[in-house]
Chain A
Amino acid sequence: MFFTKWKARPILVMGCGWFGSRVAGDLSLKGYSVFVIDKDQTAFRKLPDHFSGYEIIGDATDIRILERAEIQSAQMVVAATDHDSINCLISQMASRIYHIPKVYVRFHDPENQKLIYGYQIEAIYPSELTLQEFNRIAFLSEVKE
């Protein structure tokens, strides 16, 4: 009973790039109600065929757009637009104004970590992850030799 209710609370994915579209597709497949927001309509083509959530065209920093995507009752927000400043703003709006329990943000610049320090926001740094992966595969090939 509780489980179905929890699943019905929406998840908002901001930015429908390669990462955003995949996250939205996976969550949708798991049965969550997903809203994807992007200012460019053509971005939605990246969504996988099995995606069954909602697509909203608009500026993800605009509160009217967020409220149309039912941010008040959301259980999770993923800020994955191309711009760090937009992601920073959205994640703080979600966490500090709407008190969304789970907020995830992607930052290209690791320096931005300090801006969300102390808030209930978890950050993903693609540059760090790429570096880790590079070290792993480079190190593996070294061992092979």
Chain B
Amino acid sequence: MKIVIAGGRNKAKFLIESLQKKSHHLIVIHPDQSYCDNLASDYQIPIIYGEPTKKYVLEDADIQGADVLIALTANDADNFIICQMAQKLFFVKKVVCVVTNPGNVEIFKNLGVHTVISATYMVAKLIEQSSTIENLIQSLSIEDGKVTINEITVTEQYPVVNQKISQIPFPKDMIISCVIRQTCLLIPNGETILKSGDTLIFVSIAKIQDEVFSIITGGKK
């Protein structure tokens, strides 16, 4: 795949290394000359020195028809214009950018950027999720936080111990995808009986996550 990386410092370097291993065709554009020299001495890939928000720089970089463009500059508006130029003027198939202001994630998506990543947003969401529920529970959000994958260990006091899964009144939009019992992995069905010490991995939509936890732990909602 032809991948263009615009701007960014540590993130750019890390990406170059990991993408190079997968033998993608990389093009790097960076507005700082000494950093370009630094990159050029480390990697055998095209490094273009210039402001990636300018059309002529993107022309020089020959990004026409690239598969992916990743905009990593520190300025949200710059990243937006880079993505839009790549899409509209150079027909890049997929554009990805990072933003510093979490509020821009939705806006940029609405305006046509395919993937928008905000480190602040992701970390804040993780903190929020891990602080609203108990410590022993781990959860992971996918699809921008609409769906969560959760892990919970069943203890003796929980009301679900020694019950068949089909008898527990779980809501509709969730599924227990696997049960880890000691070192074995079980794919449960309605007949599976939960035991103390089991670790459940379940997928649910984010809205009912707390409800599912309160059913498993017997706690109040």
- A and B are partners in one complex rather than unrelated chains: yes
- Which residues in B have their C-beta under 8 angstroms from that of A112? 81
Q: Give Cα distance in the complex from A84 to B103, angstroms.
A: 21
B29 to chain A, nearest CB (A): 15
CB distance A114 to B78 under 8 Å? no
Kindly count the residue-residue contacts between A and B in the assembled complex, taking CB atoms under 8 Å apart. Answer: 51
- A88-B80 contact, Cβ under 8 Å, with A63-B103, A109-B54: yes
Q: Give Cα distance in the complex from A78 to B174, angstroms.
A: 48
CB distance B104 to A61 under 8 Å? yes
Q: Give Cα distance in the complex from A93 to B112, angstroms.
A: 11
- Which residues in B have their C-beta under 8 angstroms from that of A115? 81, 84-85, 88-89
Q: Give Cα distance in the complex from A96 to B54, angstroms.
A: 23
Tell me, yes or no, whether B74 is within 8 Å of chain A by CB.
no
CB distance B103 to A89 under 8 Å? no
CB distance A96 to B111 under 8 Å? yes
Size of the chain A interface, CB-CB below 8 angstroms: 21
CB distance A97 to B110 under 8 Å? yes
- Which residues in B have their C-beta under 8 angstroms from that of A93? 107, 111
Encoded as 1 (CB less than 8 Å from any B CB) or 0, chain A from 101 to 133 comes to 000000001011011010000000000000000
Residue from the list B53, B85, B111 in contact with A97, Cβ < 8 A:
B111
CB distance B111 to A86 under 8 Å? no
- Which residues in B have their C-beta under 8 angstroms from that of A89? 76-77, 80-81, 111
Q: Give Cα distance in the complex from A112 to B101, angstroms.
A: 24
Majority SS at the chain A contact face: helix
**Closest residue of chain A to B87, judged by CB?**
A115
Q: Give Cα distance in the complex from A115 to B54, angstroms.
A: 12
Using a CB-CB cutoff of 8 Å, which residues 23-69 of chain A contact chain B? 59, 61-64
Size of the chain B interface, CB-CB below 8 angstroms: 19
Residue from the list A64, A83, A96, A114 in contact with B77, Cβ < 8 A:
A83
Using a CB-CB cutoff of 8 Å, which residues 92-112 of chain B contact chain A? 101, 103-104, 107, 110-111
Q: Give Cα distance in the complex from A52 to B84, angstroms.
A: 37
Q: Give Cα distance in the complex from A111 to B77, angstroms.
A: 16
Q: Which of B55, B81, B110 has the most CB of A within 10 A?
A: B81
Using a CB-CB cutoff of 8 Å, which residues 69-94 of chain A contact chain B? 83-86, 88-89, 92-93
Tell me, yes or no, whether B163 is within 8 Å of chain A by CB.
no
- Which residues in B have their C-beta under 8 angstroms from that of A96? 110-111
Q: Give Cα distance in the complex from A93 to B89, angstroms.
A: 20
State the A residues within 8 Å of B (CB): 59, 61-64, 83-86, 88-89, 92-93, 96-97, 109, 111-112, 114-115, 117
27 A-B pairs (CB sep. < 8 Å): A61-B76, A61-B77, A61-B101, A61-B104, A62-B101, A62-B103, A63-B103, A64-B103, A83-B77, A85-B53, A85-B77, A85-B81, A88-B77, A88-B81, A89-B76, A92-B111, A93-B111, A96-B110, A96-B111, A97-B110, A97-B111, A112-B81, A114-B88, A115-B81, A115-B85, A115-B89, A117-B88
